[in-house]
Amino acid sequence: MGLDTAAMLGLEILNSITILVLLALGLAVIFGMMRIVNLAQCEFFTLGAFTVLAATRWAGLPLWAAMCLAPVVVGGVGIVLERLVIRPLYGRPLDVMLATWGVSLLLVGVITVIFGAVTQGVPFALGSFRVGQYQYPQYRIVMTTVAAAMMAGLYALFRYTAFGRRARATIANPEMAAAMGINTPRMFMLTFGLGAGLAGATGAILAPIVGVVPTMGALYIARAFITVVVGGPVVLLGTLSSASVLGFIEALISRFSLFTIQTGGHCTPPPCQISIGGSAFFGQIALLIFAIVLLRLLPRGISGFRRAGQ
Amino acid sequence: MARQLDRRDFLKTAAAAAGGVVAGSGITGFPYVMKFRRSWAASNTVPVGSLLDKTGGINIYGLPAIAATEYAVNEINAKGGLLGKQLELIQYDTQSDIANFPKFAKKLILEDQVVVIHGGITSASRESFRPVIDEYKQLYFYNIIYEGGVCDKYVFVTGETPTQQMGPLAKYALRKYGTKAYTVAADYNFGHISWKWWDIFWRNGGGLEPVAGGKRGSHVGKVEFIPLDVTDFNATINRIQEAKPDVLMSFLVGGAHINFYRQFAAAGLKNKIPIITTTFGYGNEHIVLDAKEVEGLVAAYPYFDELDNPQNRAFKAGMKKKMGNPDYYIGDAGAESYNGWWFWAKGVQKAGSFEREAVTKAMESGIEWDSPMGHVKMDPASHHVIFTVHLAAVNDKHGWKVLESFPNVPPTETMQLCDLLKNPDQHTQYQPK
């Protein structure tokens, strides 16, 4: 393997990890911290992407401004959703699932009515750079940078600000937090809005590389949940480590053929063999298998040895 | 226009069916079993069915096909209908979900009692309900580009097959780009069978048999089959760069795969590795993507909106009016659905009947007419269409520039294997050995 091929493999792994981190961040807050199983989470991605589409196409905003607008809009939607739907249902996880599933269908419906069920695109802004014999899109590096910044920002927010301390206190023990004078309903609402906003940002970041369509969220939601569940109770560290492990496996198996199985009969073109590994399909399978094995060995997730809430 | 069968409808249908039996026995003297099915016999409308994906990842093909289906049925009705009856179009949204096709096909046949079904998009969806078609001996039209080989007495195909696209594409690419090809394909029966045919055409220099004198193609890297829901093509694109092909053949399908072309361009490869394809543009992908992302990509279809003939001028004006959009691009999927409905209508007119056997016989007399895509002819033995194929490149204005035209290209690979006149009792799909 040449130096450039190795560098490309490194970039592919980084890209897989980046996408998993981006998908998992909002969910890590809403599901990982607040323990709300929000089935409308994938529509937050979709809303983020459509915010970019609408802002660039109708309001004529530049792409970057539209991307900054997306988390604000989606965070707002999240806050409204928490107020109207989720708040009466705290402590009733099955009802929350049912209600948010309804919201998910509603959001897809509304987006379809406004934008149509057609696949649309947000044109790409950046070029590519050269690594030996390869070329690689610059935008992928921007994505990684943004994901790292979001991760660091989230850590700083929860670790060093008054809001973060209150939010953590509220989630760890709502009664005690309320007794200490924290407005706990407000903290729940804002934390939920934060999680929605992060998912909205993810949708906006993904918009230029994927097709924007009302049902796009469903393509990502499984990987988001898997990453958060494998991550375990320590939200940020867990998400980062599970995204790293799973992204590494996915990129590696997508790239390399592990072994080939010889099959009988007559083939065009010969020889008759099925190659295991070396395609996106096996990358996804490897990710799922590895997640199952990890959860079997570490039922509480990678960060399960740490106490929750840290 | 999805129709649900409620109790009242059921009672009406049952009453009408009973009436049909009585009327039938009155006229012919004996109540024969076909009459019982035809609850519409006494009515001045006749139900016809369409199964297309209005929503989900396959709707990039479904939406233009639905628009053209409605347009064609309206046009047939505006011209007085068929045999004195207006067509009542019953459509179900199959939602890009294979399980819906056999379900709704049964509903169309048993409850709605349609005289013909048009539709099915992916080959996986077609093969999911072709057994239902065969079980109930239902007349069926499949109006989509596909991997060829369907040989079924009850089925007529108006889309293009491998010879009609891959022959011209292979010859063009060998002449213009070089002999080393890399192939990416959708991971289901369409992609897999298309790859087998493409291997034959490419290594033979553009024919089913080796083409004398021309260059022969070869493959670099391995063919890559990509599931329909994959959206990130980073690893694939790097593998393509590693293989350094002269040309990339794409059999990618559906909304998620549009991202491939965008990510390919973003990696700066658009001007380095030319793309040829049998699928790009069929879902009007060239409208979704930025012109500079896909300009120059070459495809082969019998229809592009840019074709200039009187039938196409009228078709385009009518579709733009129907869609309320002066920039509406119809595309090959729309044109083939339109042709499918008109082929059937001409068959019914010639047969003077809606019955499957009579219409099939009329279709097998070799119906030909001037359609928006030019002169088209139904090949009696294979139930496939012979038409002129155009090679075209994406231009800088979300449209196509026709490069070359190949008149009257037959679907040779299917015609060689399938003769429904000599051997009518066939309900199969042939594949390359």
- Distance, in Å, from the CA atom of A221 to the CA atom of A44, rounded to the nearest integer, reads 10
**B259 vs A5, A15, A209: nearest CB:** A209
Q: Using CA coordinates, name the residue in chain B closest to A271.
A: B222
Which 218-237 residues of chain A touch chain B by CB within 8 A? 219
Helices B234-243 and A3-27: angle between axes, nearest 10 degrees: 170
Closest-CA distance, B48 to chain A, in angstroms, reads 25
- The pLDDT profile of chain B, 433 residues, written as one tens digit per residue, is 444 445 555 555 555 554 444 444 444 444 444 444 567 778 899 999 999 999 888 888 999 999 999 999 999 999 999 999 999 999 999 998 999 999 999 999 999 999 999 999 999 999 999 999 999 999 999 999 999 999 999 999 999 999 999 999 999 999 999 999 999 999 989 999 999 999 999 999 999 999 888 889 999 988 888 888 888 888 889 889 989 999 999 999 988 888 899 899 988 898 899 999 999 999 888 988 888 889 999 999 999 999 999 999 999 999 999 999 999 999 999 999 999 999 999 999 999 999 999 999 999 999 999 999 999 999 999 999 999 999 999 999 999 999 999 999 999 999 999 999 999 999 999 988 7
A137 touches chain B (CB under 8 A): yes
Is B57 within 8 Å of A137 when comparing Cβ atoms?
no
3-state SS, residue A98:
helix
**A134 vs B226, B241, B293: nearest CB:** B241
Alpha helices in B369-420 (DSSP H): 412-417
List, in order of start, the domains of chain A with CATH numbers: 3-305 (1.10.3470)
Q: Using CA coordinates, name the residue in chain A closest to B53.
A: A117
CATH architecture, domain defined by B162-301 = 3-Layer(aba) Sandwich (3.40)
Cβ distance A268 to B196 under 8 Å? yes
- Distance, in Å, from the CA atom of A160 to the CA atom of A274, rounded to the nearest integer, reads 53
Tell me whether the CATH fold assigned to B7-161+307-390+405-429 matches the one assigned to B162-301.
yes
B97 contacts on A by Cβ (under 8 Å) = none
Is A118 within 8 Å of B231 when comparing Cβ atoms?
no
Give the largest CA-CA distance in chain A.
76
Interface test with A, best of B238, B258, B272 (most A CBs within 10 A): B238
- Distance, in Å, from the CA atom of B105 to the CA atom of A105, rounded to the nearest integer, reads 26
Spatial neighbors of B323 by CB under 8 A, at least 6 apart, are B67
Q: Which long-range contacts (CB under 8 A, 24 or more apart) does A148-156 make?
A: A150/A21, A150/A22, A150/A25, A150/A198, A150/A201, A151/A21, A151/A25, A151/A236, A151/A240, A154/A25, A154/A29, A154/A198, A154/A236, A155/A236
What residue segments make up the domains of chain B, in order of their start?
A: 7-161+307-390+405-429, 162-301
What are B379-410's pLDDT values in tens digits? 999 999 999 999 999 999 999 999 999 999 99
Is B60 within 8 Å of A15 when comparing Cβ atoms?
no
B183 contacts on A by Cβ (under 8 Å) = none
CA angle A246, A249, A252 (to 5 degrees): 145
Alpha carbon separation from A296 to A20, A222, A290, A302 (Å, rounded): 21, 18, 10, 11
Rounded to two decimals, the ipTM of the complex is 0.80
B63 contacts on A by Cβ (under 8 Å) = 117-118
Which 159-218 residues of chain B touch chain A by CB within 8 A? 187, 196, 199-200, 203
A283 touches chain B (CB under 8 A): yes
What are B272-302's pLDDT values in tens digits? 999 999 999 998 889 888 888 899 999 999 9
Q: Which residues of chain A have pLDDT under 70?
A: 124-125, 264-272, 306-310
Closest-CA distance, B101 to chain A, in angstroms, reads 20
CATH architecture, domain defined by B7-161+307-390+405-429 = 3-Layer(aba) Sandwich (3.40)
Alpha helices in chain A (DSSP H): 3-27, 41-57, 63-81, 93-115, 138-160, 162-172, 174-179, 184-206, 218-231, 235-255, 280-297
Nearest to A98 by CA among A8, A177, A55, A38: A38
Alpha carbon separation from B53 to A309, B88, B325, B336, B396 (Å, rounded): 46, 19, 21, 15, 29
Is A117 within 8 Å of B219 when comparing Cβ atoms?
no
